[in-house]
Structure 1
Amino acid sequence: MAGPTQDFWQQRFVTGQIPWDRGDAHPQLKLWLDQGLLSAGLSLLIPGCGRGHELLLLAKAGIDARGLDYAPAAVELARAQLATPEAQGRGRVEQADVLTWQAATAFDAVYEQTCLCALHPDHWRAYADQLHRWLKPGGRLFALLMQARRDSAGQGMLEGPPYHCDIQAVRALFPSECWDWPAPPYAAQPHAQGWTELAVVLVRR
Protein backbone atom coordinates (compact mmCIF):
# COMPACT_ATOMS: atom_id res chain seq x y z
CA MET A 1 0.00 0.00 0.00
CA ALA A 2 1.40 3.38 -1.01
CA GLY A 3 1.83 6.02 1.67
CA PRO A 4 1.90 5.84 5.47
CA THR A 5 1.34 2.44 7.09
CA GLN A 6 -0.76 1.57 10.11
CA ASP A 7 2.43 1.36 12.18
CA PHE A 8 3.38 4.89 11.06
CA TRP A 9 0.14 6.29 12.51
CA GLN A 10 0.29 4.08 15.59
CA GLN A 11 3.73 5.37 16.50
CA ARG A 12 2.63 8.98 16.04
CA PHE A 13 -0.20 8.58 18.53
CA VAL A 14 1.86 6.50 20.98
CA THR A 15 4.64 9.09 21.07
CA GLY A 16 2.37 12.13 20.82
CA GLN A 17 3.94 13.29 17.53
CA ILE A 18 0.67 14.64 16.14
CA PRO A 19 1.31 18.29 15.20
CA TRP A 20 -1.95 18.50 13.25
CA ASP A 21 -3.92 18.02 16.50
CA ARG A 22 -5.24 21.33 17.87
CA GLY A 23 -6.08 19.88 21.28
CA ASP A 24 -9.72 20.83 20.68
CA ALA A 25 -12.42 20.45 18.06
CA HIS A 26 -11.86 22.27 14.78
CA PRO A 27 -13.21 25.87 14.83
CA GLN A 28 -14.92 25.33 11.47
CA LEU A 29 -16.94 22.45 12.92
CA LYS A 30 -18.03 24.71 15.75
CA LEU A 31 -19.06 27.31 13.16
CA TRP A 32 -21.11 24.76 11.19
CA LEU A 33 -22.87 23.81 14.43
CA ASP A 34 -23.55 27.45 15.28
CA GLN A 35 -24.97 27.96 11.78
CA GLY A 36 -27.40 25.10 12.30
CA LEU A 37 -25.97 22.99 9.47
CA LEU A 38 -25.51 20.16 11.98
CA SER A 39 -28.10 19.49 14.66
CA ALA A 40 -29.28 16.93 17.21
CA GLY A 41 -30.63 13.67 15.84
CA LEU A 42 -28.37 13.46 12.80
CA SER A 43 -26.17 10.43 12.14
CA LEU A 44 -22.62 11.42 11.25
CA LEU A 45 -19.38 9.59 10.45
CA ILE A 46 -15.84 10.86 11.07
CA PRO A 47 -13.22 8.82 9.17
CA GLY A 48 -9.76 9.30 10.64
CA CYS A 49 -11.17 10.65 13.90
CA GLY A 50 -7.83 10.76 15.76
CA ARG A 51 -8.12 11.67 19.43
CA GLY A 52 -11.84 12.31 19.09
CA HIS A 53 -12.14 16.04 19.84
CA GLU A 54 -14.82 16.43 17.16
CA LEU A 55 -16.64 13.31 18.30
CA LEU A 56 -16.94 14.76 21.79
CA LEU A 57 -18.22 18.11 20.51
CA LEU A 58 -20.84 16.42 18.34
CA ALA A 59 -21.90 14.04 21.11
CA LYS A 60 -22.48 17.04 23.39
CA ALA A 61 -24.66 18.53 20.63
CA GLY A 62 -26.86 15.42 20.57
CA ILE A 63 -25.55 14.07 17.26
CA ASP A 64 -25.12 10.33 16.76
CA ALA A 65 -21.46 10.43 15.76
CA ARG A 66 -19.30 7.44 14.86
CA GLY A 67 -15.53 7.65 14.43
CA LEU A 68 -13.14 5.42 12.52
CA ASP A 69 -9.37 5.30 12.86
CA TYR A 70 -6.60 3.06 11.58
CA ALA A 71 -4.38 3.35 14.67
CA PRO A 72 -5.32 1.42 17.83
CA ALA A 73 -3.75 4.15 19.99
CA ALA A 74 -5.99 6.80 18.40
CA VAL A 75 -9.07 4.65 18.98
CA GLU A 76 -8.10 4.23 22.64
CA LEU A 77 -7.67 8.00 23.09
CA ALA A 78 -10.98 8.78 21.39
CA ARG A 79 -12.84 6.20 23.48
CA ALA A 80 -11.41 7.76 26.63
CA GLN A 81 -12.86 11.14 25.59
CA LEU A 82 -16.26 9.58 24.94
CA ALA A 83 -16.20 7.83 28.32
CA THR A 84 -16.49 11.19 30.10
CA PRO A 85 -19.84 12.51 31.38
CA GLU A 86 -19.66 15.33 28.81
CA ALA A 87 -20.29 12.83 26.02
CA GLN A 88 -23.70 11.99 27.53
CA GLY A 89 -23.34 8.36 26.49
CA ARG A 90 -23.21 9.25 22.80
CA GLY A 91 -20.51 8.61 20.20
CA ARG A 92 -18.73 5.44 19.13
CA VAL A 93 -15.31 4.62 17.75
CA GLU A 94 -14.14 1.67 15.67
CA GLN A 95 -10.69 0.63 14.55
CA ALA A 96 -11.01 0.28 10.79
CA ASP A 97 -9.41 0.83 7.41
CA VAL A 98 -11.47 3.55 5.70
CA LEU A 99 -10.73 2.04 2.29
CA THR A 100 -12.54 -1.21 3.12
CA TRP A 101 -14.97 -0.45 5.96
CA GLN A 102 -18.66 -0.62 5.09
CA ALA A 103 -21.57 0.89 6.97
CA ALA A 104 -24.69 -1.12 7.78
CA THR A 105 -26.82 1.95 7.03
CA ALA A 106 -26.03 5.22 5.26
CA PHE A 107 -25.30 8.40 7.23
CA ASP A 108 -26.89 11.85 7.14
CA ALA A 109 -23.46 13.49 7.13
CA VAL A 110 -19.73 12.81 6.98
CA TYR A 111 -17.10 15.10 8.51
CA GLU A 112 -13.88 14.92 6.47
CA GLN A 113 -11.01 16.80 8.06
CA THR A 114 -7.69 14.99 8.06
CA CYS A 115 -8.38 11.68 6.34
CA LEU A 116 -8.08 12.60 2.66
CA CYS A 117 -4.81 14.48 3.19
CA ALA A 118 -3.44 11.59 5.28
CA LEU A 119 -3.99 9.07 2.48
CA HIS A 120 -1.53 8.76 -0.37
CA PRO A 121 -3.16 10.18 -3.54
CA ASP A 122 -3.05 6.68 -5.08
CA HIS A 123 -5.95 5.86 -2.73
CA TRP A 124 -8.00 9.03 -3.15
CA ARG A 125 -10.32 7.59 -5.82
CA ALA A 126 -11.21 4.59 -3.64
CA TYR A 127 -11.75 6.85 -0.64
CA ALA A 128 -13.97 9.27 -2.58
CA ASP A 129 -16.11 6.31 -3.68
CA GLN A 130 -16.39 5.25 -0.04
CA LEU A 131 -17.60 8.70 0.99
CA HIS A 132 -20.31 8.55 -1.67
CA ARG A 133 -21.41 5.08 -0.48
CA TRP A 134 -21.52 6.10 3.18
CA LEU A 135 -23.90 9.02 2.64
CA LYS A 136 -27.62 8.98 2.00
CA PRO A 137 -28.82 10.80 -1.14
CA GLY A 138 -29.03 14.42 -0.06
CA GLY A 139 -26.52 13.79 2.73
CA ARG A 140 -23.81 16.35 3.34
CA LEU A 141 -20.04 16.01 3.24
CA PHE A 142 -18.48 18.61 5.53
CA ALA A 143 -14.98 18.81 4.13
CA LEU A 144 -11.84 20.66 5.20
CA LEU A 145 -9.40 20.44 2.31
CA MET A 146 -5.77 20.69 3.39
CA GLN A 147 -3.73 23.25 1.47
CA ALA A 148 -0.15 22.08 1.98
CA ARG A 149 1.52 22.59 -1.38
CA ARG A 150 5.30 22.23 -1.27
CA ASP A 151 7.88 23.67 -3.65
CA SER A 152 8.81 20.17 -4.83
CA ALA A 153 5.33 19.83 -6.36
CA GLY A 154 6.70 21.80 -9.29
CA GLN A 155 8.89 18.77 -10.08
CA GLY A 156 6.02 16.34 -9.69
CA MET A 157 6.96 15.16 -6.19
CA LEU A 158 4.27 13.83 -3.84
CA GLU A 159 5.16 14.78 -0.28
CA GLY A 160 3.10 14.05 2.78
CA PRO A 161 1.33 13.53 4.96
CA PRO A 162 -0.38 15.88 4.84
CA TYR A 163 -0.79 15.62 1.08
CA HIS A 164 -1.87 18.79 -0.66
CA CYS A 165 -5.57 18.71 -1.60
CA ASP A 166 -5.46 20.77 -4.77
CA ILE A 167 -8.97 22.05 -5.47
CA GLN A 168 -8.84 20.94 -9.12
CA ALA A 169 -7.88 17.41 -8.08
CA VAL A 170 -10.66 17.38 -5.50
CA ARG A 171 -13.20 18.56 -8.11
CA ALA A 172 -12.20 15.56 -10.22
CA LEU A 173 -12.66 13.23 -7.24
CA PHE A 174 -16.10 14.64 -6.44
CA PRO A 175 -17.63 15.45 -9.85
CA SER A 176 -20.83 17.43 -10.28
CA GLU A 177 -22.60 14.32 -11.59
CA CYS A 178 -22.36 12.87 -8.08
CA TRP A 179 -22.10 15.95 -5.85
CA ASP A 180 -23.56 19.44 -5.62
CA TRP A 181 -20.82 22.01 -5.06
CA PRO A 182 -21.28 25.46 -3.54
CA ALA A 183 -19.90 28.40 -5.50
CA PRO A 184 -16.40 29.58 -4.53
CA PRO A 185 -14.62 31.31 -2.92
CA TYR A 186 -14.39 28.99 0.08
CA ALA A 187 -13.52 30.03 3.61
CA ALA A 188 -9.91 29.24 4.56
CA GLN A 189 -9.16 28.16 8.13
CA PRO A 190 -5.53 28.73 9.22
CA HIS A 191 -3.54 26.01 10.96
CA ALA A 192 -0.75 26.50 13.49
CA GLN A 193 1.59 24.47 11.26
CA GLY A 194 1.37 27.11 8.54
CA TRP A 195 -1.17 25.27 6.40
CA THR A 196 -4.73 26.31 5.62
CA GLU A 197 -7.88 24.29 5.08
CA LEU A 198 -10.66 25.18 2.66
CA ALA A 199 -14.12 24.65 4.16
CA VAL A 200 -16.56 23.16 1.64
CA VAL A 201 -19.94 21.48 2.16
CA LEU A 202 -20.90 19.09 -0.65
CA VAL A 203 -24.30 17.46 -1.07
CA ARG A 204 -24.46 13.87 -2.32
CA ARG A 205 -26.66 13.37 -5.35
Structure 2
Amino acid sequence: MAGPTVEFWQTRFESGNVPWDRGSANPQLEQWIAAGMIGPGTTMLVPGCGRGWEVAALAAHGVHATGVDYASGAIDACARLLQSQGLAAELFQADVLDWQPAAPVDAVYEQTCLCALHPDHWRAYADQLRAWIRPGGRLFALFVQAIAEESGQGFVKGPPYHCDIHAMRALFPARDWEWPAPPYPRLASNPAFQELAVVLTRKG
Protein backbone atom coordinates (compact mmCIF):
# COMPACT_ATOMS: atom_id res chain seq x y z
CA MET A 1 0.00 0.00 0.00
CA ALA A 2 1.44 3.36 -1.04
CA GLY A 3 1.88 5.96 1.67
CA PRO A 4 2.13 5.80 5.47
CA THR A 5 1.35 2.52 7.23
CA VAL A 6 -0.70 2.01 10.37
CA GLU A 7 2.62 1.47 12.20
CA PHE A 8 3.76 4.93 11.05
CA TRP A 9 0.70 6.58 12.59
CA GLN A 10 0.75 4.43 15.71
CA THR A 11 4.36 5.42 16.38
CA ARG A 12 3.44 9.08 16.00
CA PHE A 13 0.68 8.87 18.60
CA GLU A 14 2.71 6.75 21.00
CA SER A 15 5.63 9.19 20.86
CA GLY A 16 3.46 12.31 20.91
CA ASN A 17 5.01 13.45 17.62
CA VAL A 18 1.80 14.96 16.25
CA PRO A 19 2.70 18.49 15.11
CA TRP A 20 -0.66 18.93 13.37
CA ASP A 21 -2.50 18.62 16.71
CA ARG A 22 -3.39 22.13 17.93
CA GLY A 23 -4.83 20.92 21.24
CA SER A 24 -8.33 22.10 20.38
CA ALA A 25 -10.94 21.81 17.66
CA ASN A 26 -10.33 23.58 14.36
CA PRO A 27 -11.80 27.12 14.55
CA GLN A 28 -13.52 26.59 11.19
CA LEU A 29 -15.54 23.73 12.64
CA GLU A 30 -16.61 25.99 15.50
CA GLN A 31 -17.66 28.61 12.93
CA TRP A 32 -19.77 26.10 11.03
CA ILE A 33 -21.44 25.05 14.29
CA ALA A 34 -22.02 28.66 15.36
CA ALA A 35 -23.56 29.43 11.96
CA GLY A 36 -26.11 26.66 12.47
CA MET A 37 -24.76 24.56 9.61
CA ILE A 38 -24.20 21.61 11.97
CA GLY A 39 -26.98 21.26 14.51
CA PRO A 40 -27.95 18.98 17.40
CA GLY A 41 -29.11 15.55 16.25
CA THR A 42 -26.93 15.57 13.14
CA THR A 43 -25.20 12.25 12.44
CA MET A 44 -21.62 13.05 11.53
CA LEU A 45 -18.43 11.13 10.85
CA VAL A 46 -14.90 12.33 11.55
CA PRO A 47 -12.48 10.12 9.58
CA GLY A 48 -8.87 10.39 10.70
CA CYS A 49 -10.15 11.74 14.01
CA GLY A 50 -6.77 11.63 15.77
CA ARG A 51 -6.95 12.66 19.41
CA GLY A 52 -10.57 13.65 18.93
CA TRP A 53 -10.82 17.39 19.43
CA GLU A 54 -13.41 17.72 16.66
CA VAL A 55 -15.30 14.63 17.82
CA ALA A 56 -15.55 16.16 21.29
CA ALA A 57 -16.61 19.57 19.95
CA LEU A 58 -19.38 17.98 17.91
CA ALA A 59 -20.57 15.78 20.78
CA ALA A 60 -20.64 18.83 23.07
CA HIS A 61 -23.09 20.46 20.64
CA GLY A 62 -25.46 17.49 20.59
CA VAL A 63 -24.19 15.97 17.36
CA HIS A 64 -24.21 12.18 17.06
CA ALA A 65 -20.51 11.99 16.25
CA THR A 66 -18.48 9.00 15.14
CA GLY A 67 -14.69 9.03 15.05
CA VAL A 68 -12.69 6.67 12.85
CA ASP A 69 -8.91 6.31 12.81
CA TYR A 70 -6.30 3.89 11.49
CA ALA A 71 -4.22 3.89 14.70
CA SER A 72 -5.31 2.46 18.03
CA GLY A 73 -3.27 5.18 19.76
CA ALA A 74 -5.52 7.82 18.23
CA ILE A 75 -8.72 6.03 19.21
CA ASP A 76 -7.46 5.52 22.76
CA ALA A 77 -6.58 9.21 23.05
CA CYS A 78 -9.97 10.21 21.67
CA ALA A 79 -11.75 7.94 24.15
CA ARG A 80 -9.80 9.51 27.04
CA LEU A 81 -10.68 13.02 25.85
CA LEU A 82 -14.37 12.19 25.63
CA GLN A 83 -14.35 10.58 29.07
CA SER A 84 -12.58 13.58 30.61
CA GLN A 85 -15.31 15.88 29.30
CA GLY A 86 -18.23 13.58 30.10
CA LEU A 87 -19.08 13.18 26.43
CA ALA A 88 -20.08 10.19 24.32
CA ALA A 89 -19.38 9.25 20.71
CA GLU A 90 -18.89 6.10 18.71
CA LEU A 91 -15.27 5.26 17.93
CA PHE A 92 -13.84 2.78 15.44
CA GLN A 93 -10.27 1.74 14.76
CA ALA A 94 -10.46 0.94 11.07
CA ASP A 95 -9.08 1.55 7.60
CA VAL A 96 -11.31 4.21 6.04
CA LEU A 97 -10.87 2.56 2.64
CA ASP A 98 -12.72 -0.53 3.91
CA TRP A 99 -14.94 0.64 6.76
CA GLN A 100 -18.66 1.37 6.38
CA PRO A 101 -21.11 2.97 8.85
CA ALA A 102 -24.29 1.10 9.74
CA ALA A 103 -26.29 3.64 7.72
CA PRO A 104 -25.58 6.75 5.63
CA VAL A 105 -24.97 9.87 7.72
CA ASP A 106 -25.97 13.52 7.46
CA ALA A 107 -22.43 14.85 7.20
CA VAL A 108 -18.71 14.18 7.27
CA TYR A 109 -16.00 16.46 8.67
CA GLU A 110 -12.95 16.00 6.44
CA GLN A 111 -9.77 17.71 7.53
CA THR A 112 -6.91 15.36 8.27
CA CYS A 113 -7.80 12.15 6.46
CA LEU A 114 -7.57 12.95 2.76
CA CYS A 115 -4.24 14.75 3.09
CA ALA A 116 -2.86 11.82 5.12
CA LEU A 117 -3.68 9.29 2.39
CA HIS A 118 -1.30 8.82 -0.52
CA PRO A 119 -2.95 10.24 -3.67
CA ASP A 120 -3.07 6.71 -5.13
CA HIS A 121 -5.92 6.09 -2.66
CA TRP A 122 -7.85 9.33 -3.13
CA ARG A 123 -10.31 7.94 -5.67
CA ALA A 124 -11.24 5.05 -3.39
CA TYR A 125 -11.61 7.42 -0.42
CA ALA A 126 -13.77 9.85 -2.37
CA ASP A 127 -16.03 6.94 -3.34
CA GLN A 128 -16.25 6.01 0.33
CA LEU A 129 -17.30 9.54 1.28
CA ARG A 130 -20.07 9.51 -1.30
CA ALA A 131 -21.28 6.14 0.02
CA TRP A 132 -21.19 7.33 3.65
CA ILE A 133 -23.19 10.53 3.14
CA ARG A 134 -26.91 10.43 2.39
CA PRO A 135 -28.29 12.33 -0.62
CA GLY A 136 -28.59 15.97 0.44
CA GLY A 137 -25.99 15.47 3.15
CA ARG A 138 -22.85 17.55 3.33
CA LEU A 139 -19.09 17.19 3.29
CA PHE A 140 -17.44 19.83 5.47
CA ALA A 141 -13.98 19.85 3.97
CA LEU A 142 -10.73 21.59 4.79
CA PHE A 143 -8.49 20.91 1.80
CA VAL A 144 -4.84 21.17 2.83
CA GLN A 145 -2.67 23.44 0.69
CA ALA A 146 0.83 22.04 1.17
CA ILE A 147 2.62 23.25 -1.94
CA ALA A 148 6.27 22.14 -2.07
CA GLU A 149 9.09 22.62 -4.56
CA GLU A 150 9.24 18.85 -5.03
CA SER A 151 5.61 18.83 -6.14
CA GLY A 152 6.47 21.21 -8.95
CA GLN A 153 9.02 18.65 -10.13
CA GLY A 154 6.52 15.80 -10.18
CA PHE A 155 7.33 14.23 -6.80
CA VAL A 156 4.52 13.15 -4.50
CA LYS A 157 5.41 14.64 -1.12
CA GLY A 158 3.59 14.02 2.13
CA PRO A 159 1.94 13.61 4.46
CA PRO A 160 0.34 16.03 4.39
CA TYR A 161 -0.26 15.67 0.66
CA HIS A 162 -1.19 18.81 -1.25
CA CYS A 163 -4.92 18.86 -2.07
CA ASP A 164 -4.89 21.00 -5.20
CA ILE A 165 -8.35 22.46 -5.88
CA HIS A 166 -8.35 21.10 -9.45
CA ALA A 167 -7.67 17.62 -8.09
CA MET A 168 -10.50 18.11 -5.59
CA ARG A 169 -12.89 19.08 -8.41
CA ALA A 170 -11.96 15.84 -10.18
CA LEU A 171 -12.40 13.78 -7.00
CA PHE A 172 -15.74 15.37 -6.15
CA PRO A 173 -17.22 16.17 -9.59
CA ALA A 174 -20.17 18.48 -10.08
CA ARG A 175 -22.31 15.60 -11.32
CA ASP A 176 -22.16 14.11 -7.79
CA TRP A 177 -21.59 17.14 -5.57
CA GLU A 178 -22.91 20.68 -5.41
CA TRP A 179 -20.01 23.10 -5.09
CA PRO A 180 -20.36 26.60 -3.63
CA ALA A 181 -19.00 29.46 -5.71
CA PRO A 182 -15.42 30.55 -4.94
CA PRO A 183 -13.48 32.18 -3.47
CA TYR A 184 -13.18 29.80 -0.54
CA PRO A 185 -11.95 30.85 2.90
CA ARG A 186 -8.20 30.22 3.18
CA LEU A 187 -7.13 29.36 6.70
CA ALA A 188 -3.57 29.68 7.98
CA SER A 189 -4.14 27.13 10.71
CA ASN A 190 -0.63 25.66 10.64
CA PRO A 191 2.76 27.29 9.97
CA ALA A 192 3.56 24.61 7.39
CA PHE A 193 0.41 24.81 5.29
CA GLN A 194 -2.98 26.43 4.78
CA GLU A 195 -6.47 25.03 4.22
CA LEU A 196 -9.36 25.87 1.91
CA ALA A 197 -12.74 25.58 3.63
CA VAL A 198 -15.38 24.14 1.28
CA VAL A 199 -18.80 22.68 2.06
CA LEU A 200 -20.05 20.24 -0.60
CA THR A 201 -23.59 18.87 -0.82
CA ARG A 202 -24.09 15.32 -2.06
CA LYS A 203 -26.46 15.03 -4.98
CA GLY A 204 -28.91 12.13 -5.18
Provide the TM-score with structure 2 as the length reference: 0.98
Question: Could you list the runs of 4 or more consecutive aligned residues of structure 1 that deviate by over 3 angstroms after TM superposition?
Answer: none
Deviation per CA, 1:83-124: give whole Å up to 9, x if none: 13442xx21211000000011100000000010000000000
Matched, 1:37 2:37: yes
Q: Which of 158, 167, 170 is the equivalent residue of 1:169?
A: 167
Aligned to 1:123: 121
**Structure 2 unaligned spans of 5+:** none
Aligned to 2:81: 81
Q: 1:139, 1:204 within 8 Å by CA — same for their partners in 2?
A: yes
Matched, 1:28 2:34: no
**Structure 1 unaligned spans of 5+:** none
Q: Which of 145, 150, 166 is the equivalent residue of 2:143?
A: 145
Tell me, in whole angstroms, the C-alpha distance in 2 between the residues paired with 1:96 and 1:167: 27
Aligned to 2:154: 156
Aligned to 2:15: 15
Amino acid at match of 2:10: Q
Task: Quote the sequence identity (%).
Answer: 57
Tell me, in whole angstroms, the C-alpha distance in 2 between the residues paired with 1:93 and 1:104: 13
Tell me, in whole angstroms, the C-alpha distance in 1 between the residues paired with 2:128 and 2:85: 32
Tell me, in whole angstroms, the C-alpha distance in 2 between the residues paired with 1:103 and 1:59: 18
Provide the TM-score with structure 1 as the length reference: 0.97
Tell me, in whole angstroms, the C-alpha distance in 2 between the residues paired with 1:43 and 1:28: 19
Amino acid at match of 1:144: L
Aligned-pair CA distance for 1:194: 2.8
Aligned to 1:91: 89
Deviation per CA, 1:149-202: give whole Å up to 9, x if none: 101111100000000000000100000000000000000111233310000000
Deviation per CA, 1:50-103: give whole Å up to 9, x if none: 00000111111000000000001000000111113442xx21211000000011
Amino acid at match of 1:83: Q
Amino acid at match of 1:8: F
Matched, 1:112 2:115: no
Aligned to 1:5: 5
